[in-house]
Amino acid sequence: MASRVNDDHIFYRSPAKFYPMVERGEGVYLWDTEGKRYLDGSGGAVVSSIGHGIREIAAAAAAQMEKVTFTHGSQFTSRPAVELAERLVRMAPPGLERVYYCSIGSEAVETAVKMVRQYQVDRGKPSKYKVISRWTSFHGNSLGALSLGGHMGRRKYYLPLFPHTPHIPPAYCYRCPWGREPGSCSLECADELERAILYEGPDAVSAFIAEPVVGATAGCLVPRDGYFQRIREICDRYDVLLIADEVMTGIGRTGRNFALEHWNTVPDLIVCAKGLSAGYHPVNVVIAKGEIHRVIREATGTFVHGHTYSQNPLGCAVALAVLDYMDAHSLVNRSAALGAYLLEKLQVLRRHPMVGDIRGLGLFAGVELVKDRETKETFAPAQKVNALVGNRAFAKGLITYPGGGGANGVHGDHILLAPPFIITEAQIDDLVSVLDEAIGEVAAELR
């Protein structure tokens, strides 16, 4: 029997998959047009941090649209843009003083890379251009951002189009390439950055980019304490800028405004996206050190870059309303508290032999699935175990963000969880119980 597909004119991501028609969202739930309810256990793709259908945000958007929706960044500034920048600078670590507006995460990542490059040229170091990144990372799907990412499944078709981008191994304690334990290792994974800088040439390396907690490609890789402090030291030793890709982790997802705060590390630039507007409008930012802005202003006088929708008043007004809502409901603290509850409840999944690891920080958690828990052997990629679990959960009304290839770019399965911060303990109990059922059923089928 042919499986059901969507019979319309959209170029869907996976044309062979059936996508239900969404009707509306409210709080942590979405409903489709057939009346089925879904618990949004992943905020879509780690986006919906304050929940769906919040009226205050709709009202703020409508009020701004009645005044002015669009102005071009080369012609006007606006009150919402000025206020949002001021607000973000207050939330960011000291020294990060300038906000550049973008629309999507990949664009913001590439904006940070271009900003760093222009800064190096403008400060008289034109030989510095290389950006080092990590394997098992994701920085976006546009070509430049994809070249920095370290996920072979996403990269393989486009490899011939990439510039040279050196990669180092990630901080992946569960699969430590050196076979060390987090409590006793010497942070060999951080020292790899120094090795790469020396191989590439310190005079040629401009920046290092990393997600503080790896999201899409491996299901919440939380580095051990000391990792980012060591990375910062190495960057400083070789005059290399540190770009924190906080597209997923920023604005409370890990229980702090920005995830690098957990390790008292101040980057030179923060890329911040999804939670900033919580899905209510595409608005993303790069928050840069004041020094970067000063050098570019005094040398070239212009950042040679820009996109049509950047800095539009509507997006800025929406993000301001989201931040107001977060403050009014103490949602960053709530993410920390409910995140601890989620991580504790997820431990029940260890009863399934195919659950190899459970990790998380704030309301950002990952469950890694393995064929053999003792050896950590992965399932064959063709089995698509992460999709089996994700689809089973979806059919039961739970949205997760499954992924594969975390172990080595091809092998590995995980389920990423990132529910809205307004989720209750009872809803977390539901989430875990549906995931438990889904994993149990897939495990039985695979036996």
Ligand X SMILES: Cc1ncc(COP(=O)(O)O)c(C=O)c1O
Which residues contribute to the site for ligand X (CB under 6 A)? 45, 104-106, 109, 138-140, 211, 215-216, 245, 247-248, 273
**Shortest Å distance, C-beta 330 to ligand X:** 25
- Please say which residue, 43 or 80, places its beta carbon nearer to ligand X: 43
Question: Residue 368 pairs with which residues in a beta bridge?
Answer: 357, 414
d(CA 146, CA 155): 7
For the bound state, the minimum distance from the C-beta of residue 266 to ligand X, rounded and expressed in Å, comes to 19
Please report how close the Cβ of residue 374 comes to ligand X at its closest, in angstroms.
31
Q: How far is the CB of 245 from ligand X (least distance, A)?
A: 5
- Rounded CA separation 183/434 (Å): 33
Closest CA to 363 of 51, 55, 46, 107: 46
CB nearer to ligand X: pick between 169 and 215? 215
Q: Is 293 helix (H, G, I), strand (E, B) or coil?
A: helix
Decide if 323 contacts 87 (C-beta within 8 A).
yes
Q: Which is nearer to ligand X, 155 or 294 (CB)?
A: 155
Q: How far is the CB of 142 from ligand X (least distance, A)?
A: 7
Residue 347 CB, shortest distance to ligand X, in Å, is 26
Q: Which is nearer to ligand X, 48 or 106 (CB)?
A: 106
DSSP letters for 44-95: HHHT-SS-B--HHHHHHHHHHHHH-S---TTT---HHHHHHHHHHHHHSPTT
Q: Residue 222 or residue 349: which is nearer to ligand X going by CB?
A: 222
- Residue least distant from ligand X (Cβ): 105
DSSP 362: S
The nearer residue to ligand X, 105 or 255, going by C-beta atoms, is 105
For the bound state, the minimum distance from the C-beta of residue 46 to ligand X, rounded and expressed in Å, comes to 7
For ligand X, give the closer residue by CB, 240 or 273.
273
**Tokens encoding 331:** 């949602």
**Structure tokens that stand for 116 in this block:** 């760093």
**Euclidean distance between CA atoms 168 and 191, whole angstroms:** 10
Q: Name the helix (H) or strand (E) containing 16.
A: none
Side chain identity at residue 142, one-letter code: S
